[in-house]
Amino acid sequence: MRGVQDPPHSSCGMIQFTLRRLLLAGPTLLGVTLVVFAMVRLLPGDPAATMAGVHATQEMVERVRRDLGLDQPIHVQYARFMGGLLRGDLGRSIRTGRPVVSEIWERFIPTLELTAASLLLATVLGVAAGIISASRPYSLFDYGSMMAALVGISAPVFWLGLMLMLLFSVKLGWLPAAGRGTLAHLILPAVTLAANSMALIARFTRSTMLEVIRQDYVSTARAKGLRESTVVVRHAFRNALIPVITIIGLRFGTLLSGAVLTETVFAWPGVGRLMVDSILARDYPVVQGAVLMVAGSFVLINLVVDLLYAVVNPRVRYG
């Protein structure tokens, strides 16, 4: 249980908290496997027929179905899937025949690269805009930044990506339109993916900072003659940091799993694009493995965010 206690900080309490959260992650991931396993098999289409080809006979399709184990009852297929998962084996891709772990890992690095760049951009610009808006409420900058944040929240990802591509790639020719290779290829997809998160972080930081700035200890810091930047950064923002860390951590998980449209628009070879291609091809093992990877990332990110609370605010203790 997380609570506020007096120092000194107990490392034993944090270790117990971490172990407890890791144990609770087991049932969560088990539920994810059940849902995903059932949903992918409700999709229309026959993966055996897809793998056998358009000119395959019924006998050939049945042979492929037996080889893939798709002719067995659902509970038997799930038991085989869980057995392989416990051994670290997610099976083989129906499309390529390669191990699912290899397929996902090759795509996970580009997705992580895009997600990290987007989160860095969203955090730096969003937090800065929120702090300045809160320190100068109802100013021209405040109105302008919050209006831009509203546009960032409302604009669909695919539309924004196409508009940026049209302007900076087609019209101006400054940046490549698609693909991955150089830093220039990363700019447009990172900005597209970061826009929504940047807007949310800016608005959330502003609202949290406005609450903190009204507190008595901030007024006391000003009365002591401290510089306004010191009051805002060291006193106000430090105490507003925990909720901001929470929203940033949640956005990282959202960016990691929500890059499907961005990767599709910009032909970015990541997990999101792999999932789309696998769903269209009815590639059950790859879809299951990719969703499990995303779910596991969410659990890990939430754990890291909880542990960061004690680093940012020494009053937070885990016991």
| CA pair distance 306, 25, nearest whole angstrom | 14
* Residue 89 parent element (H or E): none
Q: Are 95 and 281 in contact (CB under 8 A)?
A: yes
Give, in words, the CATH class of 106-318: mainly alpha
Residue that has been written with the tokens 């400054």 in this structure: 174
Q: How many other C-beta atoms are found inside a 10 Å radius of the C-beta of residue 111?
A: 28
Q: Name residues whose C-beta falls within 8 Å of residue 281's C-beta, 6 or more positions apart in sequence.
A: 47, 50, 94, 95
* pLDDT tens-digit map of 88-114: 777 788 777 788 888 888 888 888 888
| CA pair distance 142, 131, nearest whole angstrom | 10
| CA pair distance 3, 318, nearest whole angstrom | 6
Provide DSSP, 223-284.
HTT--HHHIIIIIIIHHTHHHHHHHHHHHHHHHHHS-HHHHHHTT--SHHHHHHHHHHTT-H
CA-to-CA dists, residue 28 to 94, 167, 257, angstroms: 27, 43, 17
Query: Alpha helices, DSSP H only, in 41-138?
Result: 47-52, 58-68, 74-86, 100-135
Phi-psi region of 59 (alpha: psi -120 to 50; beta: other; left: phi over 0): alpha
* pLDDT tens-digit map of 306-317: 777 766 665 555
Which pLDDT band holds residue 9 (cuts at 50, 70, 90)?
Answer: very low
What's the mean per-residue pLDDT of the chain? 79
On the question of pLDDT at 5 being above 50, the answer is no
DSSP 154: H
* pLDDT tens-digit map of 39-84: 777 766 666 776 666 677 777 777 877 777 777 787 888 888 788 8
pLDDT at site 318: 56
